[in-house]
Amino acid sequence: MLRRTALTTAAVLGGAMALSACESTGGSGGKDALQAAKDAKVIRIGIANEAPYGFADSSGRTTGEAPEVARAAFTELGISALQASVVPFDQLIPALTAKQFDVVAAGMNITAKRCQAADFSAPDYSALTALLVPKGNPQGVLKLEDVAAKKVKVAVLSAAVEKGYLTGAGVAEDQIQTLDTQDNMLRAVADGRVYAAALTDISLKWLVKQNPGAAVEVTPGFIPMADGKPVISAGGFVFRKEDDTLRVAFDAELKKLHDSGEWVKIASPFGFDESNLPKPDVTTEKLCTA
C-alpha cells in the first residue's frame, strides 16, 4: 500500500517536472518578434556581462552602452522594458538563434562570418583597438605588430574579432590565449600570465577604471591593419535572420538617436564620444561582404 502510494506520487511529480523542464525554442510562439515584444511590452535582449557595452550594475540593473541605446530606441516603439539574459560572449549568437532572446545588445562587431549566422542592425559605434599591458609597458608593446615582433603572449576574448586582427598582424597561434571574460583577461595581464590583452580601447579603459589597484595600463587606441589596409570596423545589434520587421523598425529609431545627438548623450557615461559615431560610408552591407 505504502509502496503503491509512493510510486504514484513519484510518477505524478516526475511527469510535472518533465513538462516544466523543456522550453520549445519558439519563444514568441510563431508571432512576429516585433509584435510579440509590443504586446508583452518587454524586449528580450542578450548581454555578455562585459562592461561597458552591456552588463548589470551593482544594483542589478541592466545597463551599458548597448542596453541603454536599445532602451531608448525600443521605448520609441512602445516597448519600455528590457529583459536581459547573460550568456558568455561566444554564445550570444547561438543563443539568439535558439530564440533565448530577440536582440543581442552587447557591442558586437559586424563581421562577414557573423553576418552568415544572423543579421546586424545599422552600425551603432566604432571603436579603436588597444592593448592592456603591465604598468610602465616594459617591453614597449604598442601595436599588434609589436606583439608579433617581441613574441610575447597575448590574451583575447573567445569569439571576438581581436584574434583575427592578431593573426593578421603575424602573431603566432601559440602566442594567443583565448579567455572567456574580460575580467579573466585583466587578471591574466596583472598576474603576468600573458603580457598583453587585446580588446577595444573603450572596454580596456573601463576595466582599468574599475580596477584601480591593478598594475596595468592601456595603450593608445589604434586601427588594426589587414593586408596593409586599415580594418574598417563597427559594432551593432544582432537580430535573427527572419526578424526583418523588428530589425528595420529598430534601425529607424537608431538612426534618429545618432542624428539627433541623443546617442552621444546616452553613451558618454560609458566612455563613448562623437569620435565613436560610425562614419556615414560604413554600412552593414559593406562590413558583411568585406
Partner 1 sequence: MDWDWDSAAASLPLLLEGLLVTVELTLLGSVLAYALGIVFALLRRARIPVLSPVTAGVVEFIRSTPLLIQIFVLYYLIEPAIGLKLSGFVTGVIALGVHYACYTADVYRAGIEAVPAGQWEAAVALNLPRRRVWTGVVLPQAIPRVVPALGNYTISMFKEVPLLLAIGVLDVLNRAKQVGAETFRVIEPYTLAGLLFLVVSLPASILVRKVERRVGQL
Partner 2 sequence: MPDSYGTILPSVLQGLTTTVSAAAGGIALTIVLAFAAGLAMVSPSRVVRVISRVYVEVFRGTSEVVQLFWLYFVLPALVGFKLVPLFAGILVLGLNHGAYGAEIVRGAVNSIPRAQYEGAVALNLSPAQRMWRVLLPQAVVDTLPPFTNLFIQLLKSTALLSFISAGDITEHGELLRPVFGRDIVWIYGTELVLYLLLALVIKYGMRVLEHAGARRLGRRPARIAGV
From partner 2, partner 1, none, which one binds at residue 283 (CB under 5 to 8 Å depending on kind)? none
Does residue 252 contact residue 193 with C-beta atoms inside 8 Å?
no
From partner 1, partner 2, none, which one binds at residue 23 (CB under 5 to 8 Å depending on kind)? partner 2
Among 193, 209, 279, 286, binds partner 1 (CB under 8 A): 193
Residue 90 sits in the site that holds partner 1 (CB under 8 A): yes
201-210 and 182-190 helices, crossing angle to 10°: 70
Identity of the residue, 10 or 290, whose beta carbon is nearer to partner 2 in the bound complex: 10
> What secondary structure letter does DSSP report for 25?
S
CA terminus-to-terminus distance, the chain? 72
Dist. CA 290–CA 279, nearest whole Å? 16
Among 32, 145, 183, 244, binds partner 2 (CB under 8 A): 183
Residue 62 sits in the site that holds partner 2 (CB under 8 A): no
Q: Which stretch binds partner 1 (CB under 8 A): 56-64, 112-120, 212-220, 234-242?
A: 112-120
Count of chain residues binding partner 2 (CB under 8 A)? 24
Q: Residue 185 phi/psi, 5° resolution?
A: -65, -45
Residue 19 sits in the site that holds partner 2 (CB under 8 A): no
Does residue 147 contact residue 168 with C-beta atoms inside 8 Å?
no
The three cell numbers of residue 170 are 603575424
| Binders in 3-42 for partner 1, by CB under 8 A | none
Of residues 7, 8, 6, 99, the one with CA closest to residue 46: 99
Contact positions vs partner 1 (CB under 8 A): 90-91, 93-94, 97, 113, 116-117, 158-159, 177-180, 184, 187, 191-193
